Structure 1
Amino acid sequence: MAVTKAAYTHVGPGLPPLHGERAGALILGSFPSPKSREQGFFYGHPQNRFWPLLASLTGEPVPDWADIEAKKQIILRHGLAVWDTIGACDIRGASDASIRNVQPNDVAALIRRLGVQAVFCNGAASGRVYARYAQPLTGLSATVLPSTSPANAAWSMEKLRAVWGTALTPFLQGDG
């Protein structure tokens, strides 16, 4: 029996960026998953490890999957910003590998406006899009971190915490 792939769908716009007045570090995903678009917020798949990971690194309680306000506060209290490199694209399901016809977000303008000092990409797809569209405009290279997606099962939470912690901790601000 032949396995049929999901059809390509043109999806966009994605989500607006989440940030306070200033941000020392910007964390970029590629494009919101179907679950994130359904929830209307970043990393909305209940098995994505992004929110438990950030809670661990900031000392915050792990937010309930549906508690968007608690998730926002982790970002805002610690001087971070979150967005996606892609504003619209053609995609099959949630597969970053299938993304084509990219319409990039204006990440460079956000970086300038917020005074971002460091850019972190959540996974290789985000890193590729950032390098192609935003880095030439900012001159700021990104650190590509292993994806927090449940599809990246090769990386345990412990390994993610070690790598993300080393990269992100110098840019985390305290309450304020």
Structure 2
Amino acid sequence: MDKNNSLKIAFPPIIHQDCTVLLLGTMPGERSLQLGQYYGHAGNHFWKLIYGLFNLQPSLEYTERTSFLLGHGIALWDVLESCTCVGSLDSQIRNATVNDFARFYLAYPNLKHIFFDSKKAEEFYRKQVGFSADKSYHLLPSPSRANAGKTFEQKLEAWQELLLYI
């Protein structure tokens, strides 16, 4: 496949049976895929936002970050299982295949509150998976540095909604 339009495969979910909140992105960006870590790009505010909800600084260790999420009942995954994409912008996604949410929700029945961290993630989910009456759905401002329309403080204020469900 052409390097400029490469096939991207998402990571497996970070989850355990007690999680009640699911944070969904669209697809890991280039840097995240290189590192094998969700939200690996240093300019992405995701981890700073998660820790900021508790007035803490993010750990530098990825395993500590993921344990922190799970310790608060928050699971992490992406809407897409695979796609082709030039670069990391959601607007460049083509040939998208969504993850198998029917099977996922059967395996993790405690997930009741679904948060999307981008409009594109919410759009793919709504169109290809659909909303169900037994879950609540919420759209957060993107933590990406490409979302320059909001300051970090504005993003953190909006992300405070997560605290209502954990």
Q: TM-score, normalised by structure 2?
A: 0.90
1:16 aligns with 2:12: yes
For structure 2, the 5+ residue unaligned runs are none
* Letter aligned with residue 154 of structure 2: K
Deviations along 1:3-22, whole A, 9 cap, x unmatched? xxx8322222x100001222
Shift in Å, 1:56: 1.1
Q: Is the 8 A contact 1:25 1:120 kept in 2?
A: yes
1:25 aligns with 2:38: no
Corresponding residue for residue 95 of structure 1:
89
Shift in Å, 1:141: 5.2
Q: Is the 8 A contact 1:35 1:45 kept in 2?
A: yes
Corresponding residue for residue 116 of structure 1:
111
* Alpha-carbon distance in 2 for matches of 1:7, 1:141: 37
* Alpha-carbon distance in 2 for matches of 1:36, 1:46: 9
- Structure-to-structure mapping, 1:65-80, within 5 angstroms: 67-80=61-74
Q: Is the 8 A contact 1:148 1:160 kept in 2?
A: yes
* Letter aligned with residue 22 of structure 1: D
* Alpha-carbon distance in 2 for matches of 1:142, 1:116: 11
Shift in Å, 1:58: 3.3
- Structure-to-structure mapping, 1:1-176, within 5 angstroms: 7-12=4-9, 14-64=10-60, 67-114=61-108, 115-136=110-131, 138-139=132-133, 140=135, 142-165=137-160, 167-172=161-166
Residues paired across the two proteins, number: 162
* Alpha-carbon distance in 2 for matches of 1:112, 1:61: 35
Displaced runs of 4+ in structure 1, greater than 4 A? none
Q: Is the 8 A contact 2:44 2:145 kept in 1?
A: yes
* Alpha-carbon distance in 2 for matches of 1:152, 1:34: 17
Shift in Å, 1:44: 0.6
Q: Is the 8 A contact 2:112 2:136 kept in 1?
A: no
